[in-house]
């Protein structure tokens, strides 16, 4: 077994979520309609998707079909996206930490939008998604776009195993990897591996 098959990835996910929440809190109201490196979404759309990913992770942990949870969360009242995201994060941890010290949920096969896989593998995928979209948001709003390097390096290694460079496109909803610029940190290199680049 590899390290990622035997270790608890929840601390990595916690680090990614905490960093992303800080980025969300740093978004200014006048930036909500700004473009992002995720070409399909402006800042408000990206915030709605980030909130939805936390709802999906919670549904997954409850044994539900996470793909049935909408891809985008409803409009946050008063554009309080930080409040909506914090509430969604609390909701997912209520599920994933319901039995402290137990790894049963991590070993259970769960039905994610990207296939059925053990809980620990799904947590790593959601960690990566959180970091990539957090990077998108940070770049779009002029914030520090690097999360904790240890968290980002672990997510990058996991995604390089789980998401090959080829094929991309069609049923694999990622663009081709982008060469990393000199000096790029691990969060940016993760985003590059997932097909993102700075505008």
Delimit the domains of the chain by residue range.
Answer: 3-151
Neighbours of 18 (CB within 10 A): 14
Of 53-67, 74-88, 111-125, 127-141, where does mean pLDDT reach its minimum?
111-125
CATH of domain 3-151: 1.20.120.450
φ/ψ of residue 172, rounded to 5: -100, 100
Instruction: Give the SS3 label for residue 172.
Output: strand
Checking if the pLDDT of 174 tops 80, the result is no
**What stretch of H or E contains 93?**
helix 81-96
Q: Which of 103, 142, 102, 101 is nearest to 119 (CA)?
A: 103
- On average, the pLDDT of the chain sits at 90
Pick from 24-28, 30-34, 77-81, 104-108: least confident? 104-108
Between CA 69 and CA 162 the distance in angstroms is: 23
């Amino acid at each position: 077994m590899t390290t990622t098959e035997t270790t608890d990835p929840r601390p990595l996910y916690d680090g990614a979520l905490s960093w992303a929440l800080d980025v969300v809190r740093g978004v200014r109201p006048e930036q909500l309609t700004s473009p992002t490196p995720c070409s399909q979404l402006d800042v408000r759309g990206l915030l709605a998707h980030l909130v939805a990913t936390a709802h999906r992770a919670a549904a997954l942990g409850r044994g539900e079909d996470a793909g049935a949870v909408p891809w985008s969360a409803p409009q946050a009242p008063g554009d309080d996206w930080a409040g909506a995201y914090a509430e969604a994060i609390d909701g997912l941890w209520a599920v994933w930490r319901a039995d402290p010290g137990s790894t049963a949920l991590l070993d259970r096969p769960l039905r994610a939008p990207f296939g059925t896989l053990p809980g620990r593998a799904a947590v790593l995928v959601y960690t990566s998604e959180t970091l990539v979209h957090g990077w998108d948001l940070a770049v779009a709003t002029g914030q520090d776009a690097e999360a904790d390097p240890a968290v980002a390096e672990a997510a990058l290694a996991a995604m390089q195993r789980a998401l090959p460079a080829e094929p991309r496109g069609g049923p694999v909803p990622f663009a081709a990897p982008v060469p990393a610029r000199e000096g790029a940190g691990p969060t940016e290199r993760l985003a590059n591996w997932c097909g993102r680049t700075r505008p």
